[in-house]
Structures are given as structure tokens and as C-alpha cells.
A = this chain, B = another copy of it.
Amino acid sequence: MIETPYLLFLGDAPDQLAAKVAQGIKDWRPEFAVGQFRMEGCKADMKLTDMTLEEAKAAGAKTLVIGVANRGGIISPAWKKVLVAALEEGFDLASGLHNLLRDEPDLVAVAEACGRTLHDVRIPSVKYPIANGVKRTGKRCLAVGTDCSVGKMYTALCVEKEMRARGMDADFRATGQTGILITGDGVPLDAVIADFMAGSIEYLTPDNDPNHWDIIEGQGSLFHVSYSGVTMALVHGGQPDALIVCHEPTRDHMRGLPGYRLPSLTAVRDMALTLAQVANPACVVVGYAINTQHMAEDEAKAYLASVEADLGLPATDPFRFGAGKLVDALEAI
């Protein structure tokens, strides 16, 4: 568990897109974002107060989060001075980069000397159990996709936000690096040892109040041959009561797999539901979340209307048009 709130480190980000982790935190957990730290030449801006380390400390920030990815995912020497100073100032550090904080001897030495913690969210920090499949209390919703990177994390975060706005008891449960940094907690599922994947998701979504919803971030796709095993562990370990099928309609092949066409919405619906009902026979599909970012507004609305007409369930782009329809359906369960 990463201590909040955060100072968001934007470093020397070459553009706004390079700071998408910081953007995610700003968008979804603004209360965690005390301020931003930008180095000379930084081209990203979260429209937060620019702070020195001292100012951020005085404002209550506990952890400096590396909110930027540079080419190759490395920890740039230019950043080192700031990171060392942050540890000395009393911050923990958190990073989702491929190269780990713990593999930098200077950071390790300073963190030890100052009694601070280095959080590498790419690596599990927990010894997860093997899944036992025992029915848990509380409710769970899982986003499943036709492909990787079709908006499963944003869908889950939109649903959480809408539920909380309605006064419902809901928690987004992160299963990837960005989600973990946004919320400060979660399971880096793609880095878990095979035997413990489903168990890690049981651990992430334990018994809860009967009306509590875990909104579980999906990963991969049951139809993506590189990562389908990870998705399967979510479907069985998550024990979902409800599934939301996520899709990006303009893609012409599976991400990273030029020879593979995307499956249809009905194929994903039927496959995911059949498998989910092994762990939870009461599971239902509640609707479709369509990522329409590459479509004009009228085109997007026409597409959503056609999905609803063809498949008989609510369809929305939750980021663009709100998650209300999906939450209506979840509330009705």
C-alpha cells in the first residue's frame, strides 16, 4: 500500500502523453495529487500547483510518484538528483517503470539511510495464495475486453465514479501498474507467478458488505493468445456477479497480433459469461462499454444505438457519455 497523498513527478516529459500515469491520478484521484514537480524542459502540465520538494512536504505529500514514462522505461540520470533529494526530504518513491527503483544502488542506499520505502508496482509485494474458489460476500463487476487496451481500466474507473456519485459503496480494484499508482494499491497481475494468479484476485477482492461493489480492472482478452491466461484468472478469481464487455470498434487486428481479427461482441459475451458462471452461476452481462475516441460524435452515437438494438443491453462510451446506463444495470442486480 502506497502512502497518499502524492507529489506527481513529471520530470522532463517530452509531451503530455508521456505523463499518462500522472494524468490518471489527476483525473481519478485528484484528492491524492497535492502538486506537481517539473524539471527544466518538461512539456507536460497537470494544471496542478508546481511545488518544490519542501513545499510539497509542507502541504502533506507522503510519496513522490514517477508519473512519467521515458523511452525504454528507464530511470534517467537526470531524474536521480531529484529522487535522491526526495528520499532525503522524507518522501517514499513509487514507480511503474520496467527498470526498478530497487535495482538502483544509490536509491536503495539513500532509502535505507533515511528509512523510506521504494515501491516498484511492477513487482508483486505479497505472497499470494492459491485460489480456493469459495463464494465471497459482496458484489463484483469485471470489465472484459475484445482486445488489450480497449478501455477496461477507464470503464472500471468511470463505473466506480458514477456509483460513488450515487452514494453507492464501490471500490475500483487495480490489476495493472497504472491502476495501482492511481489508487495506491492493487495486484500487478501480469507479473504474478502462474499458479497464484487467480488467488491474487481473490486476495484483491475479499469478503465485503453485501451491498459493496468491487469494480475490477480487466487485463488482456480471452481471445488474445499472448495474454488470455491472465484474463482467465480474472474471470475465475474475480468471481464476478456482473461483466461489462469492452470494445474499440476501429481496430483492424488484435493488438500486437497482426494475423488475428478481433472477436465479435457476442463471442466475447458468450465465452466470458460461460466461464464466469463456473465460479459464480448467477453472473450476468450487464452491458457494453465502447471506446469511441476515434469516432466522430454522431458516428459514435449511431454505433452505440446499433449495439443496443442488436444485442439488447445498454451500450455507452462511459468516458465520453457517462457510465449511467451501466450503473443502472448494475444497481438492478
Contact = CB atoms under 8 A, between A and B. Distances in A.
Interface in A282-298: none
Interface of A: 130-135, 189-195, 197-199, 222-223, 225-233, 235-237, 239, 256-257, 259-260, 263, 271, 274-275, 278-279
Contact of A195 (B132, B230, B260): B230
A198 B226 contact: yes
Contact of A275 (B135, B193, B222): B222
Given A135-B259, A231-B232, 5 more contacts: A131-B225, A132-B257, A192-B194, A194-B230, A228-B275
A122 to B, nearest CB: 10
A7 B239 CA distance: 47
A227 B195 contact: yes
A191 B195 contact: yes
Interface core residue of A230, A239, A263 (most chain B CB under 10 Å): A230
Contacts of A232: 222, 228-229, 231-232
Given A225-B237, A233-B229, A278-B225, A190 B198 contact: no
A274 B270 CA distance: 11
A195 B197 CA distance: 11
A5 B263 CA distance: 48
A259 B259 CA distance: 40
A180 to B, nearest CB: 15
Contacts of A195: 190-191, 227, 230
A226 B194 CA distance: 10
Contacts of A191: 193-195
Contacts of A259: 133-135
Given A134-B259, A232-B232, A259-B133, A225 B279 contact: yes
A226 B229 CA distance: 12
15 contacts: A132-B256, A133-B257, A133-B259, A134-B259, A190-B193, A193-B194, A194-B229, A194-B230, A194-B233, A226-B236, A228-B232, A228-B236, A229-B233, A231-B232, A232-B232
A192 B190 contact: no
Nearest to A191: B193
Contact of A226 (B130, B135, B223): B130
A67 B257 CA distance: 42
Contacts of A279: 225
